[in-house]
Structure 1
């Protein structure tokens, strides 16, 4: 056994298990299984051209050496990013804890109460600081949140406004440059006309439906927007404020001004810079817009016993239900980062946050005083943490970089200095010394911070915040450590058992891939530092781009998109730009199979395309005749086909090359959704099937953890003709020669977690990647074979094989009074998270085991499903109080004095022998979603409010 082989540690089944698994699956070799699964004409003829795999120890040395190539300067650039202090108790117990980072999106609320509570804390924190009624559980980044706010205001225009075709949106020139770029990206396909200008000169005409302001402005000036917002209200113009969350500790909450949406980032609340991400954005709005708010909302409801429980609220807003009628394609959040930011607020509490904000503000006051002594003019009359100094930018820059310091230089005569939580008196004196040298003048050092206020009295914060008990209880490390552990115990994550989610690929997130994230040489790099200060990052990101380009068979890659849905949108916008470059801007028809992910049609509509749905055959494949008919019908305006491969039904369709040729022959481009790339790597690729662009879910196929519903990264890989249009950034040059405007805030998106995928590929190498894919397919077909006598598999390939996932048909069990949701809840009693429920077919379970699950774990999972099948057979439609209908069973039920059920406590809690050895207890009984939606509570409200509801 090669103990230095990462593939050995990543891939679950042992060599000694292989023959039995192959025999059960009905083949004699892995080669035979792959032959029977993939069409011959798309198989790669040669292995991937990647360097030999590194061992875990070699990789640790390699990534450590690369980290030293990053120059970690004291950075005061600002522009929405500030160095923060991550409390060690949060780093150790959340960021570095697989109990938190390997959890899945909390669709199964009964086994996700811990992270749901942590997210409710986050929402409460955001609502309190912004002064808004409703906040979601985070978005991808500040610029995305701003773009989503613009789209929300477009969607809620008054009817009389729509008749007048009101499409103008005002953008203050004080808004961050990356946000303006992303607003431009989003505005074009939606038909929105952006008007960028000075908010003090705005005319409030009836042509506008909305406006966005920055608070404080991009260079630190604090504006009183009371009059602006009031005039907007009078003109029926709705307003968005992008607000720095730490400044809101001292500034009047935007909600008190009467604004409609407040957005921003919570990066300042203890989250590493990470060269741009991942960071949890926030989005807060009025309750009247609850049906239009993007992303996820955590709400309070009750369980079967009437006890308080949490779950994701208003899920019918999601694009998987609304599809092309959805107002947003957002299908994820930044849960892990939101949990950390919320826990930062829990740890420090309102008094701690006030101390931090006051210290930052006093630092700015003290520095301002010294710069004035030196004779420099400071342009910001009112400020929180950022000074705008009139000076010779070139002279300051040269001296600053000699002293390992970064400022921001918007022009030749301006130096912007954005201070932060980590800034000490010694740091301030170093800054003063640089300006002393430029001015050729000596002054006394700062000894103590000045006390004062550079914020106008009328916009000082006067309202209390974070008054809930949770923010006033856990301020010692011992208390917070125990609180975090208490929540962790309520959640089922990959460190307990397999999470066999179809289409979501919950594989091992190896510790050796994760460890570099804690290295400050990776964590403390601002996304807008000069690229020569981020040499380590530049090497890793370029190599990862090259690795993904090779794996997909394409010509280039952009790592900028922050999620799979954002990757879809980016890919379609690149296709749109390509058609425009050829004088074919009229091409706007996007063909999408009926089985596609709900994000596909939502993304197409956001990209300005019209969705035409194509039929599926009874075997679950694309109906080729229907596709031909629609491709020919729309050939003059055909922009693209969006296709998932292997299909959402878990099948490698043999006609795929014929399908892609048909689209090309009729002038379109082929977008391949990379959700199922885990079945392709090393065996085939998007280039081989004839696609032109694909997105990859690095949080699925390439081992970035789901983190309870985020972070995710969704890079796009493109064929040669699309290379010129890869997305750019207004601050740091990146992307193609004719780059589309920004897709995300940061030039390389969530760069920090890209280290994980780089490690995954680098340690597996070509052979390990291919072997991973083969074992993913083997594991799926092993489960399929083991369950074949108990459940019907809905779809399979022409030779009877599943790809890496399969769909079990649970609809016949309605005859026994059992719904698919009953099976999902009963699995919790067996210690498993349910597979994907009712997607892509209602009443089914979609199972994907991944390659990193062992045969022993696969057998436990199969044993559980077979046992449940026996329970189903004993159920009747008349018996509404059977073991499945009552699942999950909590410890409180099992230890109660009374037991009123027809089955035993042992059957309820320990249905198979293995369960007793490692029992997981759901902490609430089945939640009542409808009750929670009727009585929407999305903050840590006092218990009286729950009782009133």
Structure 2
């Protein structure tokens, strides 16, 4: 047939990027499920009563070219000046190999949290390097990897001290050094209030160690003071209190470490190790502690164990999914780390080594010393006498004049009080920068970089070694470090290799076009506390994104402050708590939570001082409405909230969701709808219209921000109008409501990802994505239901965007565990679905809309093959212990080594679903978790512990 110009139809690039199956494939899949059209499937899946009436519509979807052009115009509204504001954020230079091979590399940014260690050895090694780096520089025994930002890390340290202190004080007061960063003090106060902790902010000279359970000191102080806190820490210890030091990571290359002072906990940010300021985030915060407190430390810890052949293997240790196990008794609700940023920071240390890090620190200090000397020689009073990189200058009534003169020269300084100006230098400070600062003070002077004066006295200098492990000494040449990063990436399984079908985690496409703006300097190089007129592009983007998210959710306002899903839960409950208190009902403190809820839900409720009352599920996995009603009535006078997930954690659209919301409201409570499963709702149903008062959104799930090996994340909350005035605020914006994160907008430099996704898809495209996510899940359920059984379905026999495969019979009948199934999937080149949650012994599968039919079939073929192997075990056809399931995953060494197993090499290494030429090989055999917990090693082992091949 001849082509006619009139046959042309616009090709939907974005939809074809994000939506995996073609229309033809969708028709084939629908036939397998038993439906004629996609809309027929949706009508049978999503209850009519909750369907939204108006389609999402904010104009036509943009092409990739138009979206980037539009975003560049908006980004151009930001003014990128040199910010010498300090306050925990500094200019830094990201080494080009790290920028290209880590931050911009999908092998690193599309990976999931390393809960499956065999397929995560690369990022686990990088994070172990991070822990080693932090432990060395802080002088502490053990570090985690990582926390969300410095302020929340400080709040976590306060809570950790509250749990662990043996002080004779009444355990109700925590001392905060008045020289802590303002945002740190504010977040600590926010976190302390619901827990009944009194926060005392004062000069360290006023510390009464007998009256507090712990204290935090800033080192160096926010205005530059370098002070040795050894005496204060000893006084705290004499009264059995806990000492926390918030330390600048770069300064520790020169200064006495917190560990040498006797600190119990050290916290801080690794932002200045190669991670752009990004208007506030994301950046990896660190926490390090003594050995005796290691089991009380929140966050993830990487440990060293062995695999089934006795070789070294890395794994998550101790707190792996602690929130889901201990729930409201967990140490914290931290679920997302900042893994990608921690990897960047660790590679920065690997790249520069100890000599390079020290040289950078020395250079920064020398520049600051020269700047101070020039000011002093022209009559300005400079404080403090001892500093690292920050000084405060007394200028009297000239404060505004100096600040404006600096801006005119392209530099932001910090306003301190009414008569002072603060200046913090960094590794990007150049000779011209120093001269421009002098110019703002009316000084015409040339900087002499040969002048290497210091302002640090001998007593303040560090004497202990750091970064002594060979890994920080061998990767000097770019060829060497590039190959190192490539080797680590090749050990991992990320979305750039295969589908990651994790239920509840929504591992969907992170399109390249959406990632590109993240590294634009207009987004990356802004200080979070720069003048607001320099961040107009950010504010325009955030306002537009919030407007569209309000349309999507049915809420009236959005706060972008929470920088993780768990932070969103906490912020949402805090908003509810503030609302009740404002109405004179602060006594409301009971939170109803279904037993099937995300483990972070009860942990978050505990953090706002709520009493968690569990609600049971019925035989179909739904909320038992009778039990819910009875408990709401019982606690009516004190009911604060309920927390539900919709669709349910079991992967079903429950018909009773509106009834549950009505019961809660009837008894004076507010409804929190967890947004973890929003990928099944966008364009079809709005939580704010079905009874929700507040929800958080996982932008790192539904809205395409990549998981990054366990972070970054963003968890903004949407609220109905009556809660708007009670949202978390920030002191930089004059809010009376306290913040939950260090920066006003959480981690704003990754918001362009979600904004781009929404612009590219348009309302109709987002709705189609939701429909296909439901289609893909039902297709997998249809193909696998006879082999495994689908644990929960709706009354119409449908699942939502995920399904639970019941593998418990395999264990009951043949001793084949859910772990065996998960590890065998590695041989086929797949990350396992979510294991044993929310139901022990099951697999929860979420394919997302991004996967094409071929990939879904490859996964189903692998699962069917595993089921057949399990049946052979049950029937006695193969050895119950020496079989492909128990020995999985199989490595190259297994393939080429001596073979004495009762099955073939081909059956072991190339099962159905595996790719022949492009097969993924696990670098280690099955990891021994129990051995790792008994023999906890959380820093890089000596090189002699590695085997001869160089594998780790």
Per-residue deviation at 1:943?
4.8
**Residue in 2 that maps onto 1:778:** 775
Q: Distance in 2 between matches of 1:571 and 1:940?
A: 39
**Closer/same/farther in 2, CA of residues 317 and 706 from structure 1, 3 Å limit:** closer
Per-residue deviation at 1:51?
2.8
1:586-616, Cα deviation, whole Å (9 max, x unpaired)? 0000000000011000000001000000010
Residue 250, structure 1, aligned to residue 247, structure 2: no
Q: Distance in 2 between matches of 1:534 and 1:688?
A: 33
**Residue in 2 that maps onto 1:940:** 940
Alignment check: 8 A CA contact 1:513 1:755 kept = yes
SS at match of 2:296: coil
SS at match of 1:767: helix
**Residue in 2 that maps onto 1:586:** 587
SS at match of 1:290: helix
Per-residue deviation at 1:447?
2.5
**Residue in 2 that maps onto 1:533:** 534
1:554-596, Cα deviation, whole Å (9 max, x unpaired)? 1000001010000000000000000001000000000000000
Q: TM-score, normalised on structure 2? A: 0.97
**Closer/same/farther in 2, CA of residues 302 and 532 from structure 1, 3 Å limit:** same
1:130-155, Cα deviation, whole Å (9 max, x unpaired)? 00000001100000100000000111
**Residue in 2 that maps onto 1:55:** 63
Which shifted more, 907-916 or 660-669? 907-916
Moved over 4 A (4+): 943-947
Superposition pairs for residues 105-184 of structure 1, below 5 Å?
Answer: 105-158=113-166, 161=168, 165-184=170-189
Q: Structure 2: 5+ residue runs without aligned partners?
A: 1-8, 948-952
Superposition pairs for residues 289-328 of structure 1, below 5 Å?
Answer: 289-315=293-319, 318-328=322-332
Alignment check: 8 A CA contact 1:663 1:670 kept = yes
**Residue in 2 that maps onto 1:460:** 461
Q: Distance in 1 between matches of 2:859 and 2:450?
A: 61
**Closer/same/farther in 2, CA of residues 917 and 733 from structure 1, 3 Å limit:** farther
Per-residue deviation at 1:9?
1.4
Alignment check: 8 A CA contact 1:317 1:326 kept = no
Residue 859, structure 1, aligned to residue 867, structure 2: no
**Residue in 1 that maps onto 2:868:** 870
Residue 268, structure 1, aligned to residue 268, structure 2: no
**Residue in 1 that maps onto 2:837:** 839
**Residue in 2 that maps onto 1:485:** 486
Alignment check: 8 A CA contact 1:275 1:525 kept = yes
Per-residue deviation at 1:223?
1.1
**Residue in 2 that maps onto 1:602:** 603
1:318-373, Cα deviation, whole Å (9 max, x unpaired)? 11100011120001200000000000000000000011111100000111111111
1:187-212, Cα deviation, whole Å (9 max, x unpaired)? 0111111111011122222x310000
Alignment check: 8 A CA contact 2:801 2:846 kept = yes
Q: Distance in 2 between matches of 1:476 and 1:65?
A: 38
**Residue in 1 that maps onto 2:190:** 185
Residue 406, structure 1, aligned to residue 407, structure 2: no
**Residue in 2 that maps onto 1:798:** 795
Q: Distance in 1 between matches of 2:816 and 2:149?
A: 42
Residue 20, structure 1, aligned to residue 24, structure 2: no
1:68 to 76, 81, 87: 76
Alignment check: 8 A CA contact 2:828 2:913 kept = no
1:824 to 819, 822, 825: 822
Residue 378, structure 1, aligned to residue 382, structure 2: yes
1:789 to 777, 783, 786: 786
2:52 to 44, 58, 61: 44
**Closer/same/farther in 2, CA of residues 913 and 824 from structure 1, 3 Å limit:** closer
**Residue in 1 that maps onto 2:421:** 415
Q: TM-score, normalised on structure 1? A: 0.97
Q: Distance in 2 between matches of 1:455 and 1:881?
A: 64
2:746 to 734, 746, 749: 749
Superposition pairs for residues 348-359 of structure 1, below 5 Å?
Answer: 348-359=352-363
SS at match of 2:249: coil
**Residue in 1 that maps onto 2:918:** 918
Superposition pairs for residues 634-713 of structure 1, below 5 Å?
Answer: 634-713=635-714
Q: Distance in 2 between matches of 1:682 and 1:531?
A: 34
1:171-222, Cα deviation, whole Å (9 max, x unpaired)? 01001110111001110111111111011122222x3100000000011111
Per-residue deviation at 1:456?
2.4
1:888-925, Cα deviation, whole Å (9 max, x unpaired)? 000011011x1010000000111127521320000000
**Residue in 1 that maps onto 2:624:** 623
Alignment check: 8 A CA contact 1:365 1:450 kept = no
Q: Distance in 2 between matches of 1:493 and 1:543?
A: 31
Alignment check: 8 A CA contact 1:70 1:537 kept = yes
Residue 344, structure 1, aligned to residue 342, structure 2: no
Per-residue deviation at 1:452?
2.7
SS at match of 2:305: strand
Q: Distance in 2 between matches of 1:430 and 1:833?
A: 53
1:676-710, Cα deviation, whole Å (9 max, x unpaired)? 00000000011121010000000000000000000
Alignment check: 8 A CA contact 1:323 1:598 kept = yes
Per-residue deviation at 1:157?
2.3
Alignment check: 8 A CA contact 2:246 2:268 kept = yes
Residue 514, structure 1, aligned to residue 515, structure 2: yes
Residue 79, structure 1, aligned to residue 83, structure 2: no
Q: CA RMSD in A?
A: 1.3
Per-residue deviation at 1:791?
1.1
Q: Distance in 1 between matches of 2:691 and 2:527?
A: 39
Per-residue deviation at 1:49?
3.5
Q: Distance in 2 between matches of 1:619 and 1:820?
A: 22
1:760 to 750, 757, 761: 757
Per-residue deviation at 1:449?
4.3
Q: Distance in 2 between matches of 1:687 and 1:426?
A: 53
**Closer/same/farther in 2, CA of residues 619 and 54 from structure 1, 3 Å limit:** same
Which shifted more, 873-882 or 489-498? 873-882
Q: Distance in 1 between matches of 2:674 and 2:296?
A: 26
Q: Distance in 1 between matches of 2:845 and 2:170?
A: 47
Per-residue deviation at 1:740?
2.4
Alignment check: 8 A CA contact 2:321 2:335 kept = no
**Residue in 1 that maps onto 2:3:** none
Q: Distance in 2 between matches of 1:643 and 1:456?
A: 57
Alignment check: 8 A CA contact 2:676 2:697 kept = yes
Q: Distance in 2 between matches of 1:945 and 1:926?
A: 19
Q: Distance in 2 between matches of 1:834 and 1:914?
A: 14
Per-residue deviation at 1:945?
7.4
Per-residue deviation at 1:31?
1.0
Q: Distance in 1 between matches of 2:450 and 2:192?
A: 45
**Residue in 2 that maps onto 1:907:** 907
Alignment check: 8 A CA contact 2:146 2:342 kept = yes
SS at match of 1:461: coil
Alignment check: 8 A CA contact 1:100 1:488 kept = yes
1:43-76, Cα deviation, whole Å (9 max, x unpaired)? 0111014232111110011111112111001110
Per-residue deviation at 1:225?
1.1
Alignment check: 8 A CA contact 2:57 2:764 kept = no
Q: Structure 1: 5+ residue runs without aligned partners?
A: none
1:259-300, Cα deviation, whole Å (9 max, x unpaired)? 100000000000011110000000000111121110100000
**Residue in 1 that maps onto 2:558:** 557
1:737-764, Cα deviation, whole Å (9 max, x unpaired)? xx52010000000000011001111111
Q: Distance in 1 between matches of 2:614 and 2:457?
A: 56
